[in-house]
Amino acid sequence: FDQLCTFKAQHGHCNVSGKDERNKPLGRWVNQQRVSYKKNALNSDRIQQLDSIGFIWYLKGDGRPRSWRDQFDELSEYKAKNGHCIVSKNYARSKSLSRWVKAQRMLYKKNTLSSNRIQQ
């Protein structure tokens, strides 16, 4: 975590490429955090710690980083349009939104979703 903080201070972001030879171990660690998060295998303390430095959990297919806030805003738009937050896995506009909603629900059920996110 400390190495990631140093990287962010130097580069202004937390998206460490595993392809960069100088940062390969850190890139692998960052990737493992994302994988663990997606599998709901990351404890809430680590999630909050990484959130506190602006860690981006999901990367959109086009390479554009997707923050939790981006996903939440997309869900808010979906709800405004559809009147609910039950996003089909076949939702044409963004299949990743369905996966993200599912992940948030799983975190909530495991009591690992931070309270500030629940309140939103």
Total-model pTM: 0.52
pLDDT bin (cut points 50, 70, 90) of residue 64 is very low
More confident residue, 55 or 65: 55
**pLDDT value of position 62:** 39
Radius of gyration of the chain (CA): 15
More confident residue, 65 or 42: 42
> Are the C-beta atoms of residues 11 and 17 closer than 8 Å to each other?
no
* Whether the predicted pLDDT of 61 surpasses 70: no
Q: What are the tens digits of pLDDT across the range 66-100?
A: 678 888 888 888 899 899 999 888 876 767 788 88
**pLDDT value of position 100:** 85
Q: Which percentage of the chain shows pLDDT scores above 90?
A: 22
* Whether the predicted pLDDT of 47 surpasses 60: yes
